[in-house]
Amino acid sequence: MGTRLSKLGVRLRPHMKTAKSAEVAHLACHDHFGGITVSTLAEASFFFEAGFKDIAYAVSMVPGKTHQAARLARAGCRLALLTDDLTTIYKIAKQSEKLGVHFPVSIEINSGGDRGGLHPMDPQLAKIAATITQSSALTFEGLLTHGGHAYNSTSISDIRRAAEDERKSVVTAARRLADRGIVCPVTSVGSTPTATYTQNTSGITEMRPGVYMFGDLAQVDLQCCVTSDIAVTVASTVIGHNKPAGQLLIDAGALALSQDLSPQSVQNTYGRLVDDENLQVIKVNQEHGTVAHLNDSTQFEKYPIGSVVRILPNHICMTAAPYNRMYVIENNTIESMWNRATGW
């Protein structure tokens, strides 16, 4: 991914909310400028302790978290905050001044995902930017957007349209600020689908994909990877046979696999076995999963009660979130264990 983005003239700021691993972050940042993205302040602390000092916190900041963020800033972390609200950033500016800390701040732009952010033509945009630039405790970092609607795409053309939505939204907003004399150093966009297929990065300085590091079945459906690219699976134990129904019962349920479905999938399943794509998890309870489509007794013999199966996840971000460690497997042997950030 870094090589592709470098050829497009933008830098990679990998989003670590998926991997939550220092080892993976070092791999992702190899030969790049070293900045990363996180979704929680706990992740920011985890990665700062692992040596990462340039961190973008890509979730809207609120005053109740300023003291937690200030501890990182005092320790030497360049923690960039995010906002889309004038009153909120005014309060954070005053808090930061009193605490004697400094933060770069980006403004979030809504590029079509409609989750958060200002529309590029919103009159509040210039007011928020001015409030940031006028504060002695804040610096205007730039503009940030995430075109989440790319995940609803049914074709590569759809993804490219979402990527262009991202680009146009921040470029338009940056031009509006420039007309008012406010320089926008950073224009940050991206997701794994848009970073994979974008063709036009004019006016963009960085992209923040994250799922590309691991892959999942949703990314396969989006044509962003193939099944053999998926790097993380969930190990589960067979705990029962329902031979009349052609089903296995496993001890990986909703908490282990998540309940996320691929938006593109017509099968509405919760994952599938690594060694047989026809064996799919069709139902999850809290700690139970039901694997369907076993057609004959030989398949039950292949998966006896007590055997371990590996499940390919639909959405790796949600699936991996509860786990505090990952086991690294090479040639069917556990080579090492990598700790993961947890909490908020």
Domains 2-213 and 233-312 share a fold: no
Q: Which of 217, 195, 196 is nearest to 207 (CA)?
A: 195
Tens of pLDDT, residue by residue over 312-323, are 999 999 999 999
pLDDT reading at 266 higher than 60: no
Q: Which two tokens stand for residue 201?
A: 């990065």
Mean local confidence (pLDDT), 149-178: 97
Q: Contact 191/209 with Cβ under 8 angstroms?
A: yes
CATH architecture of 233-312: Beta Barrel (2.40)
pTM: 0.96
| Domain chopping of the chain, boundaries | 2-213, 233-312
pLDDT of residue 268: 82
Question: How do residues 281-329 score in pLDDT, each as one tens digit?
Answer: 999 999 999 999 999 999 999 999 999 999 999 999 999 999 999 999 9
pLDDT at 45 over 70: yes
The pLDDT, as a whole number, for residue 32 is 86
% of the chain beyond a pLDDT of 90? 96
The contacts of residue 260 (CB under 8 Å, 6+ apart) are 218, 314, 315, 318, 319
Q: Which two tokens stand for residue 14?
A: 């990998």
pLDDT of residue 22: 98
For the domain with range 2-213, which CATH number is right: 3.10.180.10, 3.40.50.300, 3.20.20.10, 3.10.290.10?
A: 3.20.20.10
